[in-house]
């Protein structure tokens, strides 16, 4: 249990990389990139967790009544999620243009830039 | 004064927001004047701050000054190198905007301000990254810089190569950015801090016995992100694909300053985070950076020589030169840092000018292919002269700023690494001279086509139709940039000024030495000889068999590049491993 | 599949995996009690009367990061506008109206207002309870697209003057920047939360500039998401290539 | 660990595993149904968690999922209509079971919370969850037959 | 015992990520990704990060699948339009 969340993050990152490298469809590759990124969410939040803690939100509990987890990593993860969504959108836009100009979304068939 | 530091980010962003909000109604001239004013104003502010940067300015954004030693705010650092990079980025953006004055194809319907706004956001992002004193903040601006760069690279959506290059750029750089973020998370887990200097303290306090696997992994991951940006071998594959296809003004920024910001990031992060006793020992960093840097320089130079697509050739020359910068930064001496800083400034001017010349060819002839342009450039006398001058600057002919920087760095790295410097600069400059001789003078026979290569013919020009003559802005801008690169070496005291900005400890300033001048002249002579040989005896310098596998590695397949990225992290880990085992 | 790539992948993946697993074993155990920055952030948030500490970190202590995040979204939308513009060899074909089962249509029209209100609620309560400008903005933008799902694209286009959303996107970005610049004019740091009173703890107006920045982000995200989806929808539904070209 | 959390763990574990199995195997129609069932499993689990942790603020998550989950399913129903038209999926038993389970959970949490503003939010969540679930199943079965243009 | 919840959520996320990579067809992958988005939100809830969970729900359950499916549709529609004239 001490390292399981970290190992899951590592697993997510490497699985995503494997998918990216072996992908035969660029839309699929963008999805794999999203999997890679979810590794960073899991790692960040796992780092900030505190046993027995609760969310650092004091609208329904009295400050100081319960231990709270780290709010900073949550803010970082929020930023990260926004980044992930926008990058996904931008890359998908590029994939659409590739489909138009090359007539394929299979990276094995893109033969314009070599050497 | 220090309160003005974040304005270097805020002003361009505000200008971009203004342009998008009003962009549909404004005529194009008004948009360009607005962009120019905002960009120029920011550049002036950066310059003023740079001149006031001793002692270094530091600002806690959000007015959270540290209580005791710790703060909850974000630190912005305005020291010499940071403001120097911000100024360079701003001035180069100004040059790129001037170059694209009335230059692009009609902007997207109803979005007259879009291109200029993207350039302004790019400027703000580069300034933000240069000034960041907080590791996560650096990641945010790193990502902003990347996102804008992807969009700008794919700007010409009618061009098949452009969208493919932009996607490769996007996937590889995003993956690098996520690696960087994983590294930041590991560092946060160990130290519980995000400000770079505090992380450094935390590492030293946590590990008096030296680094462990956690420090090594975070070092490798953070460096992976930054080296992907800096295009070090084997993270470099995206760069030629992206820089060769981006619109010319964007290329000027990408090659002139964005890639160099990756190298700057390595310098900044190592110096403030990993340099302490709890970090990575200096010997390991030197081993990693010098090995990868030398490999990068050699690979870049060899690949540069065998290109016929002129923009791609210039992109590989950027790879080679970034390798030289990394070698210089890797030896970790103040003299080498001064040399690299000067070299970087000079290189930015020269490389941007060369891209500008290639852009003029593209818009005049609809081609950037060395073979099909053979002899057709004769009428463009000014562009041809500037190409030749740029090549000499690239080779490091005194008294260019590049030559001064290169000489100082060569002296600092010493020994066999000097050979790498001379060879890489001579080969890349030789390639540019060869292109100049063939395209603008029509010398030699027309070379034969090879099998595995990217040709540069049949490209869409970036203007509305082919130009019948090259407009004044497109010749003035490279001329000014070359003059600036020359001035850096000629103006007395400039070297000393740069050295003072880089570090107060300082090396006493960068000076011309007989040894340095001699090496500069030698590499220029070598470049001229190579170019002459290539033009008169094309068969002697055609791609030999041993270069083919190297060229095949550049397959244009994003899966290959991702696999290489993973290999790169492993190599980086292996290179830095001895320090961890030894402690 | 290329054999070289698989070898590279195996070597690189194994190396990176070994490195990362070794690092994980050196990490402080999961659920540890040492979070110096986190504890300081909670303290600082309570000092400024912001009940949701995460909102305080996002919009007060590390508001500069959020500025970067917002700019990323802004730039990505601008990038998509540029990348998904109608190319020279394309034309627009208005889509045929789609047939949707009546219960689905009713559901969509019923849920649309609920979703909009929820989005606004999530934005407005950002500094108190979980949520905030980003989450609420996305919900509000998604709500609008129920019109596409429940009716057809034409219905969505009628309530979606794209230019207005693009302008709103830019204006909200500008508003965030102006809110950040105001303290500089007053002689203190960029994005300092010192100009407004901090209000009563756990009320809608608490936290100084936090609710204002939060609202700016909400507006920016909602209009950005609408513009983003609009361009993808245009591509998927309307824009066609000229045949035979 | 209290009973609420235990129930949430069981619901999440069993429902999540079943949904994952359904979403990764079989013909497209079955996958979309499994995707719809994800909402039906996770949303009640979130309600139980909010009760188990003693944090009424967490109900917002369940509310948002009850709102957006069916929207996500409608996206697939709309844009995958070509693949779904081969065999219109009918999962009446599953749909009503899920609706019943959701209703039971909402009811239990409502009883525990007692009257007040929180109760209203819970009821809205429950209504959205059950209504969305049924409508989404309906849309999968016959909602978008022959959509071509829009 | 609160750990049991975390373990369940973690394992499900890991399994769905593996499945998402293994599904080579983008439309099917989008289904798995949407499942994974919801599961990630549940994981964030048990890690006591409701703010993050909310944004993951907002992005992962409807927005990202919509973007991916629209791209898939565009690419497929192109494929059809190409084949028809032949």
Cβ density class C155-170: b for 16+ within 10 Å, e for less: bbbeebebeebbbbbb
pLDDT band at D147 (very low <50, low <70, confident <90, very high): very low
d(CA B527, CA E65): 54
Give the tens place of pLDDT for each residue, D62-90: 999 999 999 999 888 888 877 776 665 66
With 50 as the cut, is the pLDDT of residue C94 above it? yes
Locate tokens 């390798």: which residue?
Answer: B323
Interface check C203 vs A, CB under 8 A:
no
Residue B289 to residues B323, B344, B575: CA-CA distances in angstroms?
9, 17, 9
Mean pLDDT of chain D: 86
Residue A89, min C-alpha distance to chain C (Å): 8
Q: Which of C131, C225, C244 sits opposite E54 (nearest CB)?
A: C131
With 90 as the cut, is the pLDDT of residue C20 above it? yes
Cβ contact (<8 Å) for C54 and E51?
A: yes
Start-to-end C-alpha separation, chain E: 64
Of residues A1 and B480, which shows the higher confidence score? B480
Would you call the peptide bond into B11 cis, given omega within 30 degrees of 0 as the criterion?
no
Query: What is the total residue count of chain A?
Result: 115
d(CA B27, CA B355): 28
Residue C31 is predicted with a pLDDT of: 87
Start-to-end C-alpha separation, chain B: 44
Q: Tell me if residue B27 falls in helix, strand or coil.
A: coil
The answer to the question of residue A53 being in a domain is: yes
Give the tens place of pLDDT for each residue, E15-25: 999 999 999 99
Non-local (6+) Cβ contacts of B555 within 8 A are: A114
Q: How many Cβ atoms sit within 10 Å of the Cβ of residue E85?
A: 7
Chain C residues inside the 8 Å CB shell of B559? 2, 5
Which one of A94, A96, A104, A105 makes the best mutation probe of the B interface by having the most chain B beta carbons within 10 Å? A94
pLDDT band at D144 (very low <50, low <70, confident <90, very high): low
With 70 as the cut, is the pLDDT of residue C243 above it? no
d(CA C70, CA B237): 30
Interface check B136 vs A, CB under 8 A:
yes
Non-local (6+) Cβ contacts of C154 within 8 A are: C94, C95, C97, D150
Interface check C130 vs E, CB under 8 A:
yes
Chain B residues inside the 8 Å CB shell of C61? 62, 64, 72-73
With 50 as the cut, is the pLDDT of residue A56 above it? yes
Non-local (6+) Cβ contacts of B160 within 8 A are: A98, A101, A102, A112
Task: List chains touching B (3+ CB pairs under 8 A).
Answer: A, C
With 70 as the cut, is the pLDDT of residue D143 above it? no
Tell how strand C90-92 and strand C239-241 pair up: antiparallel
Residue D92, min C-alpha distance to chain A (Å): 32
Residue B210 is predicted with a pLDDT of: 74
Query: What is the total residue count of chain B?
Result: 583
Take residue C16 and report the two structure tokens written for it: 């990176």
Q: Which of B140, B166, B454 sits opposite A114 (nearest CB)?
A: B454
Take residue B272 and report the two structure tokens written for it: 């403030």
Give the tens place of pLDDT for each residue, D120-141: 999 999 999 999 988 888 888 7
Rg (CA), chain E: 17
Give the tens place of pLDDT for each residue, D86-117: 665 667 788 888 888 889 999 998 988 888 88
Residue C159 is predicted with a pLDDT of: 81
**Domain residue limits, chain D:** 3-142
Cβ contact (<8 Å) for D68 and C146?
A: no
Average pLDDT over residues C140-165: 86
The region of weakest confidence among B245-254, E38-47, E55-64, E72-81 is E72-81
The dihedrals phi and psi of D86, each to the nearest 5 degrees, come to: -60, -50
The answer to the question of residue A91 being in a domain is: yes
Could you give the angle at the alpha carbon of C118 between the alpha carbons of C113 and C124, nearest 5°?
A: 125
- Residues in chain E whose Cβ is within 8 Å of chain C: 50-51, 53-55, 57-59, 62-63, 66-67, 70-71, 73-74, 77-78, 81, 85
Cβ contact (<8 Å) for C154 and D139?
A: no
Interface check C71 vs E, CB under 8 A:
no
Chain A residues inside the 8 Å CB shell of C87? 100
Chain D residues inside the 8 Å CB shell of C95? 149-150
Residue B506 is predicted with a pLDDT of: 55
Take residue B74 and report the two structure tokens written for it: 């974000």
Residue of A nearest to D1 (CA): A52
- Considering only residues 19 to 78 of chain A, which have any Cβ-Cβ distance to chain E shorter than 8 Å? 19, 23-25, 27-28, 30-32, 34-35, 38, 41-42, 45-46, 48-49, 52-55, 57, 68-69, 74, 77-78
Residue B583 is predicted with a pLDDT of: 61
DSSP code per residue over B554-580: ----HHHHHHHHHHHHHHHHHHHHHHH
Residue C173 is predicted with a pLDDT of: 96
Q: Which of A36, A44, A102 sits opposite B175 (nearest CB)?
A: A36
Q: Which of E63, E71, E77 sits opposite C138 (nearest CB)?
A: E63
Q: What is the dihedral of CA C208, B4, B9, B275, to 10 degrees?
A: -100
d(CA B368, CA E40): 48
- Considering only residues 62 to 101 of chain A, which have any Cβ-Cβ distance to chain C shorter than 8 Å? 63, 68-76, 78-79, 82-83, 86-87, 89-90, 92-94, 96-97, 100
DSSP code per residue over E50-81: HHHHHHHHIIIIIIHHHHHHHHHHHHHHHHHH
CA-nearest of B524, B323, B508 to B417 is B323
CA-nearest of A45, C52, D64, D69 to E54 is D64
Residue of C nearest to A73 (CA): C38
Cβ contact (<8 Å) for C173 and B7?
A: no
Would you call the peptide bond into B399 cis, given omega within 30 degrees of 0 as the criterion?
yes
Q: Do chains E and B touch (3 or more CB pairs under 8 A)?
A: no
Chain A residues inside the 8 Å CB shell of C201? 58
Interface check B406 vs A, CB under 8 A:
no
Please return the burial class of A18, using the count of CB atoms within 10 Å of its CB with bins 0-12, 13-18 and 19+.
buried
CA-nearest of B258, B257, B156, B269 to B221 is B269
Task: List chains touching D (3+ CB pairs under 8 A).
Answer: A, C, E
Instruction: Work out how many CB contacts closer than 8 A connect A with D.
Output: 13
Which runs of consecutive H residues, i.e. helices, occur in B231-309?
238-243, 248-253, 259-269, 282-305
The dihedrals phi and psi of B135, each to the nearest 5 degrees, come to: -65, -40
Helix, strand, coil % over all residues of chain D, rounded to 5: 80, 0, 20
Residue B146 to residues B121, B173, B452, B571, D150: CA-CA distances in angstroms?
11, 7, 30, 25, 35
Residue A16 is predicted with a pLDDT of: 96
Q: How many Cβ atoms sit within 10 Å of the Cβ of residue A1?
A: 12
Q: How many Cβ atoms sit within 10 Å of the Cβ of residue B539?
A: 8
Residue D148 is predicted with a pLDDT of: 43
The answer to the question of residue A114 being in a domain is: no
Sign of CA dihedral B352, B358, B362, B367: negative
**CB contact at 8 A, B248 and B356:** yes
d(CA A24, CA A35): 16
Residue D150 is predicted with a pLDDT of: 44
CA-nearest of D148, D144, D137 to D32 is D137
Q: Do chains B and A touch (3 or more CB pairs under 8 A)?
A: yes
Residue of A nearest to D53 (CA): A54
Share of chain C above pLDDT 70, in %: 98
Chain C residues inside the 8 Å CB shell of B61? 63-64, 189-191
Cβ contact (<8 Å) for C25 and B213?
A: yes
Domain count, chain A: 1
Query: What is the total residue count of chain E?
Result: 86
**CB contact at 8 A, B350 and B390:** yes
Q: Which CATH number does the domain housing residue A17 bear?
A: 1.10.287.3510
Q: Tell me if residue D24 falls in helix, strand or coil.
A: helix
**CB contact at 8 A, B454 and B391:** no
Cβ density class B411-426: b for 16+ within 10 Å, e for less: bbbeeebbebbbbbbb
DSSP code per residue over B473-491: HHHHHHHHHHHHHHHHHHS
Task: List chains touching A (3+ CB pairs under 8 A).
Answer: B, C, D, E
Which runs of consecutive H residues, i.e. helices, occur in B398-471?
401-413, 416-441
Locate tokens 């992948």: which residue?
Answer: C9
Cβ contact (<8 Å) for A69 and E7?
A: no
d(CA E57, CA D62): 10
Residue E86 is predicted with a pLDDT of: 41
- Considering only residues 190 to 229 of chain B, which have any Cβ-Cβ distance to chain A shorter than 8 Å? 194
The answer to the question of residue A115 being in a domain is: no
Interface check A14 vs E, CB under 8 A:
no
pLDDT one digit per residue (tens) for chain B, 583 residues: 889 999 999 999 999 999 999 877 888 888 889 999 999 999 999 999 999 988 889 999 988 888 777 788 999 999 999 999 999 999 999 999 999 876 666 666 677 888 999 999 999 999 999 999 999 999 999 999 999 999 999 998 888 899 999 999 999 999 999 999 999 999 999 999 999 999 999 998 876 667 889 999 999 999 999 999 999 989 999 999 998 889 999 999 999 999 999 999 999 999 999 998 888 999 999 999 999 999 999 999 999 998 889 999 999 999 999 999 999 999 999 889 999 999 999 999 999 999 999 999 988 888 899 888 888 989 899 999 999 999 999 999 988 999 999 999 998 888 889 999 999 999 999 999 999 999 999 888 887 777 677 777 777 777 767 777 788 888 899 999 999 999 998 888 888 888 888 876 655 667 788 888 999 999 999 999 999 998 888 777 776 777 778 888 888 899 999 999 999 999 999 999 987 887 6
Cβ contact (<8 Å) for D68 and C150?
A: no
The dihedrals phi and psi of B134, each to the nearest 5 degrees, come to: -125, 130
Please return the burial class of B117, using the count of CB atoms within 10 Å of its CB with bins 0-12, 13-18 and 19+.
buried
d(CA D22, CA E16): 12
pLDDT band at C202 (very low <50, low <70, confident <90, very high): confident
Interface check A90 vs E, CB under 8 A:
no
Residue of A nearest to C39 (CA): A70
Chain B residues inside the 8 Å CB shell of A112? 160-161, 164, 454, 556
d(CA B19, CA B31): 7
Q: How many Cβ atoms sit within 10 Å of the Cβ of residue E79?
A: 14
How many CA atoms lie less than 13 Å away from B139 in the CB half-sphere? 30
**CB contact at 8 A, B196 and B135:** yes
Residue C244 is predicted with a pLDDT of: 40
d(CA C21, CA C12): 14
d(CA B199, CA A3): 22
Residue of C nearest to B557 (CA): C5
Chain C residues inside the 8 Å CB shell of D135? 103-104, 107
The answer to the question of residue A26 being in a domain is: yes
Q: How many Cβ atoms sit within 10 Å of the Cβ of residue B518?
A: 12
């Amino acid at each position: 249990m001490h390292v399981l969340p970290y190992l899951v993050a590592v697993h997510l990152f490497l699985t995503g990389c494997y998918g990216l490298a072996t992908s035969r469809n660029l839309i699929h590759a963008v999805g794999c990139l999203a999997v890679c990124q979810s590794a960073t969410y899991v790692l960040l939040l796992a780092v900030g967790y505190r046993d027995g803690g609760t969310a650092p939100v004091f609208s329904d509990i009295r400050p100081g009544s319960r231990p709270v987890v780290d709010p900073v990593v949550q803010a970082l993860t929020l930023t990260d999620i926004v980044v992930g969504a926008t990058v996904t959108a931008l890359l998908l836009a590029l994939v659409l243009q590739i489909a138009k100009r090359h007539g394929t979304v299979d990276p094995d068939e893109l033969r314009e830039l070599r050497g | 004064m220090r309160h003005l530091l974040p304005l270097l980010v805020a002003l361009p962003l505000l200008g971009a927001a203004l342009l998008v909000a009003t962009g549909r109604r404004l005529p194009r001239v008004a948009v360009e004047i607005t962009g120019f004013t905002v960009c120029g104003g920011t550049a002036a502010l950066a310059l003023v701050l740079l001149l006031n940067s001793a002692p270094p300015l530091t600002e806690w954004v959000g007015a959270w000054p540290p209580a005791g030693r710790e703060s909850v705010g974000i630190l912005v650092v305005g020291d010499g190198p940071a403001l120097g990079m911000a100024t360079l980025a701003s001035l180069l953006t100004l040059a790129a905007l001037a170059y694209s004055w009335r230059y692009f194809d009609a902007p997207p319907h109803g979005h007259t301000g879009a291109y200029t706004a993207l350039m302004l956001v790019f400027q703000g992002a580069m300034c933000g990254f240069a000034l960041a004193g907080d590791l996560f903040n650096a990641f945010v601006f790193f990502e902003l810089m990347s996102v804008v760069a992807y969009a700008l690279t794919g700007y010409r959506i009618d061009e098949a190569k452009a969208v493919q290059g932009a996607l490769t750029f996007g996937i590889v750089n995003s993956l690098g950015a996520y690696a960087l973020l994983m590294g930041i998370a590991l560092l946060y887990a160990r130290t519980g801090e995000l400000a770079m200097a505090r992380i450094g303290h935390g590492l030293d306090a946590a590990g008096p016995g030296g680094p462990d696997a956690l420090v090594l992994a975070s070092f490798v991951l953070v460096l992976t992100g930054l080296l992907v940006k800096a295009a070090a071998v084997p993270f470099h594959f995206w760069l030629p694909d992206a820089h060769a296809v981006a619109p010319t003004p964007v290329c000027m920024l990408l090659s002139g300053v964005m890639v160099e910001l990756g190298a700057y990031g390595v310098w900044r992060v190592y110096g403030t985070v990993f340099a302490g006793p709890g970090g990575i020992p200096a010997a390991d960093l030197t081993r990693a950076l010098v090995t990868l840097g030398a490999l990068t320089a050699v690979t870049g130079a060899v690949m540069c020589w065998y290109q016929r697509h002129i923009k791609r050739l210039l992109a590989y020359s950027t790879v080679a030169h970034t390798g030289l910068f990394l070698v210089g930064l890797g030896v970790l001496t103040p003299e080498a840092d001064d040399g690299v800083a000067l070299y970087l400034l000079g290189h930015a001017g020269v490389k941007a000018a060369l891209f500008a010349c290639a852009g003029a060819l593209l818009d005049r002839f609809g081609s950037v292919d060395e073979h099909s342009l053979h002899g057709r450039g004769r009428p463009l006398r000014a562009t041809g002269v500037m190409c030749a001058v740029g090549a000499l600057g690239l080779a490091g002919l005194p008294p260019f700023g590049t030559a001064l920087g290169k000489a100082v760095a060569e002296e600092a790295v010493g020994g066999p690494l000097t050979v790498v410097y001379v060879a890489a600069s001579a080969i890349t400059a030789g390639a540019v001279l060869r292109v100049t001789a063939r395209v603008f003078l029509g010398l030699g026979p027309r070379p034969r086509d090879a099998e595995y290569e990217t040709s540069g013919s049949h490209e869409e020009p970036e203007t509305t139709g082919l130009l019948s003559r090259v407009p004044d802005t497109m010749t003035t801008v490279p001329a000014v940039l070359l003059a600036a690169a020359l001035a850096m070496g000629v103006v007395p005291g400039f070297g000393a000024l740069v050295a003072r900005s880089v570090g107060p400890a300082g090396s006493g300033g960068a000076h011309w030495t007989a040894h340095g001048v001699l090496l500069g002249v030698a590499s220029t002579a070598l470049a001229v000889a190579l170019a002459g040989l290539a033009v008169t005896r094309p068969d002697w310098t055609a791609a030999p068999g041993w270069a083919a596998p190297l060229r095949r590695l550049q397959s244009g397949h994003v899966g290959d590049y991702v696999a290489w990225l993973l290999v790169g992290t492993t190599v980086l880990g292996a290179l830095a491993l001895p320090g961890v085992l030894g402690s | 599949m290329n054999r070289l790539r698989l070898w590279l992948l195996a070597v690189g993946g194994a190396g990176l995996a070994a490195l990362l697993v070794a690092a994980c074993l050196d990490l402080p155990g999961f659920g540890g009690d040492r979070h110096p920055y986190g504890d300081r952030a909670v303290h600082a948030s309570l000092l400024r009367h912001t009940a949701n500490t995460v909102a305080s970190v996002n919009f007060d202590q590390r508001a500069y990061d959020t500025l970067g995040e917002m700019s990323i979204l802004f730039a990505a939308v601008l990038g998509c506008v540029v990348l998904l513009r109608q190319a020279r060899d394309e034309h627009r074909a208005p889509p045929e109206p789609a047939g949707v089962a009546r219960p689905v249509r009713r559901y969509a029209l019923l849920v649309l207002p609920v979703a909009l209100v929820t989005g606004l609620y999530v934005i407005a309560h950002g500094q108190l309870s979980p949520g905030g400008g980003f989450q609420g903005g996305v919900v509000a933008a998604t709500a609008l697209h129920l019109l596409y799902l429940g009716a057809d694209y034409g219905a969505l286009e009628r309530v979606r003057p794209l230019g207005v959303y693009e302008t709103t996107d830019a204006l909200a970005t500008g508003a965030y920047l102006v809110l950040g610049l105001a303290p500089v004019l007053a002689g203190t740091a960029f994005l300092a939360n010192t100009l407004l009173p901090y209000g009563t703890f756990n009320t809608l107006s608490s936290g100084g500039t936090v609710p204002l920045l939060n609202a700016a982000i909400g507006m920016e995200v909602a209009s950005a998401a609408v513009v983003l989806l609009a361009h993808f929808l245009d591509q998927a539904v309307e824009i066609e290539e000229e045949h035979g070209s | 660990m209290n009973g609420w959390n235990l129930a949430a763990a069981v619901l999440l574990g069993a429902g999540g595993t079943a949904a994952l199995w359904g979403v990764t195997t079989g013909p497209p129609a079955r996958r979309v149904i499994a995707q719809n069932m994800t909402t039906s499993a996770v949303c009640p689990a979130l309600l139980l968690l909010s009760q188990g942790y003693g944090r009424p603020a967490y109900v917002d998550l369940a509310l948002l999922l009850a709102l957006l989950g069916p929207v996500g399913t409608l996206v697939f129903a709309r844009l995958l209509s070509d693949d779904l038209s081969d065999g219109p999926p009918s999962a009446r038993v599953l749909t009503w079971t899920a609706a019943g389970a959701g209703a039971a959970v909402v009811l239990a949490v409502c009883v525990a919370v007692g009257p007040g503003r929180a109760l209203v939010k819970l009821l809205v969540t429950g209504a959205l969850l059950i209504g969305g679930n049924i409508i989404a199943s309906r849309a999968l079965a016959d909602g978008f037959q022959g959509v071509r243009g829009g | 015992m609160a750990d049991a919840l975390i373990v369940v959520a973690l394992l499900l996320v890991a399994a769905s990520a593996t499945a998402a990579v293994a599904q080579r067809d983008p439309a099917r992958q989008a289904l798995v990704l949407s499942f994974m988005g919801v599961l990630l939100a549940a994981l964030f809830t048990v890690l006591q990060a409701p703010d993050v969970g909310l944004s993951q729900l907002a992005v992962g359950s409807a927005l990202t699948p919509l973007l991916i499916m629209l791209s898939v549709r565009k690419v497929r529609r192109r494929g059809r339009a190409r084949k028809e004239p032949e």
